[in-house]
Chains A and B, each alone.
Chain A
Amino acid sequence: MFDEPAGIYFYDGTNVVDKDSVDYSFIIKPDTLVQDTVYLYLRISGEASDVDRAVNIGFTGKTTAIEGKHFTLTPPVIKAGEYDAEVPVYLHRTEDMQDSTFVIQFEIKDNEVFRQGPTDRLLYKITVTDQLIKPSDWQTLFYGSYSKVKHQFMVSRLGTTAITISTGAQFSQIMSILQKMRVELLNYEKENGPLFDENGDRVTFPTL
């Protein structure tokens, strides 16, 4: 009987949005956190096996992160009787992440037991950094002029980098963030005096 290898591909687990990447920033994490985990979700097409099967995952040329320094990939395996797997990727917080963003682009490759699945589900990208990057759709109307200090202040108070549409916030939420920032900045100034940005300008949020 012909025994064709099962197909394998990245699958985000929700079946709603086929995400092919994740952006991770240590900037919103406590200073004490030196390692965190991001998962790769794998799924097979074909039959489960009665033995564990290793998956061949390599890196594309877009990868700038160094394995062992910036991240560690645990050996990916589809266990016996299973159709999918969560593969942990350990991200290590390093000093060079404070001024750089590193990319890990994983690529599923063929091996003896698995062939590549759908072509649009063979790549998965993780970007990892310990700094903030100005969102391409920074909302000057709501947040005023951009500065790294203001951005850092917002993210630290919100606990998320989702402050614009492109970073994951919704329009109504942006209006809410502005109100929170107004109050948070006043609270900060009461304790510490005015907050100045890297350009020497006082951090403010718009009023009409």
Chain B
Amino acid sequence: MASCVKDDSTHDLETLNQIEINDTTATGVILQFDTLTIVPEIEQSIPVPEDELLYAWTLRAEDGYGDLVFLDSSRNLHKPIGVLPGDYTVTYRVTVKSTGVMFMKLFPLKVINRFSLGWLLLEDNSGTGDISIVLPNDTVVNHIYSELNPGEPLNMPLKEIGITDTYAGKYINIFSENQGIRLDYDVLLKDSEMKDWFWEAPTNLHPEKFTRLSSSLANIINNGLLHIYVAGGFPGDVKYMNALPFPGGKGADYALAPFIGIGPGPYDGKTSYTGLYYDTKTKGFLYLTGASLIPQFQFFNAPTASGAFNMNEIGKELLSMDLAYKANMYNNVFKDENGELFLYQVELANSEPATLMQNITAVNPSLKGATMFASSVLLPQVYCVKGQDIYLYEIPSNTSTPILSIAAGETITKLKINSTSMQVATWDGAQGHFYIYDIDAYGKLSLSKEFSGFGKIVDFVYKG
């Protein structure tokens, strides 16, 4: 059964302006911090001028969790995307002002880690710490630490940046004079502070050197004392342990120089020189053993007939300890009380580790006063920095040659080396520079790349 009723109401039915949003410009994939541009087409069934429409661009993680990020209220989107790497959805809302009716289009967006590879430069920008990155395509991105970690300023002055990769995880360590922090390796977000890395945090946080010894071992020299981190193989939390005591009943009465050599490890069946250290109080080397369970320092044995020197009685100031041109070989440059430089070569895989000692400056007086050293990992050579000049010191012949002068007005703040290149950071009083030199088969340097516009570069590391 049906019936009809006359419509006596005063209401009117109005046809709405229907909007259809189309787009061919959205990329779908973007590098973190790149600018996302989307220029959609808007078709209206009852066209009105586009300034009578309201626009809103927002972004949220694809899974729907996380904060809604407002991007812009413009008709087209042209905004840098600074969110963490991951899968997102960009939502475009167009609202007709006169009716309040909203139309929407979704754009899937994958944000890719921009900083997975490159040189991380730890820099002092007029008293503020930060990190710049030199990407493999030679693009430089500045201020990445401060942009990714707002409100978490780095403690100053800065000292060191390094990468730790153990069974317990992969992180980037940043050390300052009296603080240390750890960044997530992938996204560079602050993960934790040094005081939380220990079962019992040292009274004085004064990190001097960090080194990853192996997948299960890392160590920190803090205020001259050695703290070991043994990761993996057992349940529960893993943290740095209390400082190791010095052998011979000295307890905590020692002060390691800020250098750590990596030994062949305790499992090779030859030696147990897990790590190499130099104590500034006894002025002798010592090594780490038993690091799998009960790490402890040991003095080296007295030299054998083939020993070039007594590992326990160096008696000089250690200026550098670098991996040399053979596995487990370390070049150690010392300075005596008269300023003379000496090379002590140590081979940790040898039953007699003291393999070579020679006075550098006795026959190379021009090297007296050199302050920075980097050993070639391919040839028996050491690069020595004295003022503006870099010298190439040839170990077998005990000779040296000046091979490079940096630009006038610049001072070298850090110098490192790998198998193919030398990296030099300089400061000209106004900005920092970062140079990469190729190393030829004879150890000579040729400028490969140059980057400028940094703060004062304190240290750098390759994230790869």
Binding site for B on A (CB under 8 A): 141-142, 170-173, 175-180, 182-183, 186-187, 189-190, 206-208
- Given B240, B243, B244, B290, which contacts A208 in the complex, CB threshold below 8 Å? B290
Q: What are 15 A-B pairs at a CB distance below 8 A? A: A171-B234, A172-B230, A173-B199, A173-B239, A175-B294, A176-B199, A179-B244, A182-B245, A183-B242, A183-B243, A183-B251, A207-B296, A208-B290, A208-B294, A208-B296
- Measured in the bound complex, the distance between the Cα atoms of B244 and A208 in whole Å is 14
Residue of A141, A172, A182 near B237 (CB, 8 A) is A172
- Return chain B residues, CB-CB under 8 Å to A177: 199, 242
Query: Within the complex, which residue of A170, A171, A183, A206 is in contact with B252, where a contact is CB–CB below 8 Å?
Result: A183
Please report the C-alpha to C-alpha distance between residue A13 and residue B44 in the assembled complex, in whole angstroms. 60
Min CB gap B69→A, angstroms? 33
| Among A141, A171, A172, A180, residue most surrounded by chain B Cβ atoms (within 10 Å) | A172
Q: Does B151 contact A (CB under 8 A)?
A: no
Contact across chains for A179 and B241 when beta carbons are under 8 A apart: yes
Known: A142-B294, A180-B200, A186-B249. 9 other contacts (CB 8 A): A172-B238, A175-B241, A175-B294, A175-B295, A176-B239, A177-B242, A178-B294, A179-B244, A208-B289
* Contact A172/B241 with A183-B251, A186-B250, A208-B289 known, Cβ cut-off 8 Å: yes
Q: Is the CB of B235 closer than 8 A to any CB of chain A?
A: yes
Q: How far is the CA of A178 from the CA of B289 in the complex (A)?
A: 15
Contacts of A189 in B (CB 8 A): 249
Q: Is the interface of B mostly helix, strand, loop or mixed?
A: loop
Counting CB contacts under 8 A, is B293 at the interface? Answer: yes
B236 interface hit (Cβ, 8 Å): yes
The distance in angstroms between the C-alpha atoms of A178 and B290, with both chains bound, is 13
Which of B235, B236, B237 has the largest number of chain A CB atoms within 10 A?
B236
Complex: chain A residue closest to B247, CB-CB: A207
Q: Are the CB atoms of A179 and B243 closer together than 8 Å?
A: yes
Whether A172 contacts B294 by the Cβ 8 Å rule is no
A190 to B295 CA separation, bound complex (whole angstroms): 23
| Size bracket, chain B contacts | 20 to 34
Question: What residue in chain B is nearest A179 (Cβ atoms)?
Answer: B242
CB–CB B199/A206 < 8 A: no
The CA of A57 and the CA of B236, in the complex, are separated in Å by 37
Instruction: Enumerate chain B residues within 8 angstroms of A173, measured Cβ to Cβ.
Output: 199, 236-237, 239
| Cβ B294 vs Cβ A206 within 8 A | yes
Interface, chain B (partner A; CB < 8 A): 198-200, 228, 230, 234-245, 249-252, 289-290, 293-296
Complex Cα gap A202–B200 (Å): 27
Tell me, rounded to whole Å, the shortest Cβ–Cβ distance linking A138 to chain B.
16
CA distance A201 to B391 in the complex (A): 60
**Which of B199, B228, B236, B296 has the largest number of chain A CB atoms within 10 A?**
B199
CA distance A190 to B251 in the complex (A): 10
List, in ascending order, chain B residues with CB within 8 A of A179's CB.
228, 241-245, 295
Instruction: Chain A residues near B252: list those with CB within 8 A.
Output: 183, 187
Report the separation of the CA atoms of residues A177 and B237 in the bound assembly, to the nearest whole angstrom.
14
Give min CB distance, B216 to chain A, whole Å: 12
Residues of B within 8 A of A176 (CB): 198-200, 239-242
Q: Shortest Cβ distance from A196 into chain B, in angstroms?
A: 17
Complex Cα gap A143–B283 (Å) = 31
A170 with B200: CB separation less than 8 A: no
B230, B243, B245: residue with the most chain A Cβ atoms closer than 10 Å: B245
In angstroms, how far is the closest chain A Cβ from the Cβ of B94?
47
Contacts of B245 in A (CB 8 A): 179, 182-183, 186
CA distance A177 to B236 in the complex (A): 15
Task: Given A172-B199, A172-B241, A176-B200, answer yes or no on A187-B251 (Cβ-Cβ < 8 Å).
Answer: yes
B292 to chain A, nearest CB (A): 10
A207: which B residues are within 8 A, CB to CB?
Answer: 294, 296
Chain A residues with CB below 8 A from B241, complex form:
172, 175-176, 178-179
